[in-house]
């Protein structure tokens, strides 16, 4: 299917391939994400979603292709220089540090001034409603609270692009739907670019401006949720979305 070109994409992935040894995991992939867009990468386990996200983050070296963020070729830039914030499935908080220290640690390392750090933490804590938790350790938090803190760590970095890798998949159904709503509100408020990986069709349908349905390291279809649902391009997409095509 032909896609209209996006002028000044926030993230542009061009002919990206990634091989692990002889195994080709991402196959000449192309994806342009508009400024402020919420893109969901949806597909079954093993289709290459996390690998693609890790390539964008700079955590994996790609085999071929180029990655641009805000017009800059970041293909060989360090993760910290890419202007992205990443939230993983497992919370990856520092267990010995309070929530506040977890939020400030990266900023202190990066040399952000103290008063600026305080300002950013106050803002993130307000947005994520974690003000009462700032002096607690992660062990004293619920799963949902920990994941809020993990999102907060990306938030305080003041980045343009957020990458989420199945951030809700360790949570129970009720928390999952609550946090889904919060992530949606967060995006409305920040209006930043989000690339969100999930294998959950409901998450994809409710969060995405556009969904990229992946299978075997290839994007099968990239379209608005309704279009994907109503006009799947092939049986795989139809079956995965559960629509009656
Ligand atoms: P998803 O996130 O969609 O579940 P992944 O991106 O984690 O899928 O994995 C895609 C494929 O790459 C899988 O077949 C997986 O086994 C393989 N893979 C992932 N990471 C590595 C690695 N470090 N070394 C070798 N193979 C890997
Ligand atoms: Mg994964």
Nearest ligand, measured from the Cα of 51: 1
Three-class DSSP category at 114: helix
CA nearest to 236, candidates 217, 211, 213: 213
Looking at residue 171, what is its pLDDT? Answer: 84
Provide the token pair at 184: 């949606």
Beta pairing class for 11-20 and 23-33: antiparallel
Q: CA-CA distances (angstroms) from residue 88 to 65, 122, 165, 192, 199?
A: 25, 22, 5, 18, 14
Nearest atom (ligand 1) to Cα of 53: 6
Looking at residue 4, what is its pLDDT? Answer: 63
Task: Decide if 78 contacts 58 (C-beta within 8 A).
Answer: yes
Nearest atom (ligand 1) to Cα of 44: 3
DSSP letters spanning 146-172? HHHHHHHHHHTTT-SEEEEESTTTTS-
Bridge partners for 108 per DSSP = none
Instruction: Respond yes or no on whether ipTM tops 0.95.
Output: yes
Q: Which residues of the chain fall below pLDDT 70?
A: 1-4, 243-245
| Terminal Cα-to-Cα distance of the chain (whole angstroms) | 17
Is the shortest distance between the CB of 47 and ligand 1 below 6 Å? yes
d(CA 142, CA 203): 21
133 CA to centre of ligand 1 in angstroms: 35
d(CA 210, CA 125): 29
Three-class DSSP category at 216: coil
46 CA to centre of ligand 1 in angstroms: 6
Computed from CA positions of residues 164, 169, 172, 174, in that sequence, does the dihedral angle turn out positive or negative?
A: positive
135 CA to centre of ligand 2 in angstroms: 32
Looking at residue 244, what is its pLDDT? Answer: 52
Is the shortest distance between the CB of 48 and ligand 1 below 6 Å? yes
* Nearest CA, atom 5, ligand 1: 48
Helices (H), 156-224: 173-190, 201-207
Does the reported pTM lie above 0.90?
yes
Identify residues whose C-beta is under 5 A from ligand 2, the ion.
Answer: 50
* Nearest CA, atom 10, ligand 1: 48
């Amino acid at each position: 299917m032909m896609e209209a070109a996006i002028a000044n994409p926030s993230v542009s992935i061009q002919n990206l391939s990634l091989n692990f040894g002889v195994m080709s995991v991402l196959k000449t992939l192309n994806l342009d994400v508009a400024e402020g867009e919420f893109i969901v990468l949806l597909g079954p386990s093993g289709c290459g979603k996390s690998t693609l996200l890790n390539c964008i983050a700079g955590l994996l070296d790609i085999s071929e292709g180029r990655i641009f963020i805000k017009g800059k070729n970041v293909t060989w830039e360090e993760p910290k220089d890419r202007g992205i914030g990443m939230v993983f499935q497992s919370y990856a908080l520092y267990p010995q540090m309070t929530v506040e220290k977890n939020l400030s640690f990266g900023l202190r390392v990066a040399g952000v001034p103290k008063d600026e750090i305080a300002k950013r933490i106050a803002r993130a804590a307000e947005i994520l409603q974690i003000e009462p938790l700032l002096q607690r350790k992660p062990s004293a938090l619920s799963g949902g609270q920990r994941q809020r803190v993990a999102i907060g760590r990306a938030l305080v970095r003041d980045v343009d692009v957020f990458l989420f890798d199945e951030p809700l998949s360790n949570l129970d159904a009720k928390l999952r739907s609550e946090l889904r709503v919060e992530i949606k509100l967060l995006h409305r408020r920040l209006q930043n670019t989000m690339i969100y990986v999930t294998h959950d069709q409901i998450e994809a349908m409710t969060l995405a401006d556009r969904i990229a349905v992946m299978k075997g390291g290839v994007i099968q279809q990239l379209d608005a949720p309704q279009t994907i649902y109503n006009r799947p391009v092939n049986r795989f997409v139809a079956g995965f979305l559960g629509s009656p095509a």
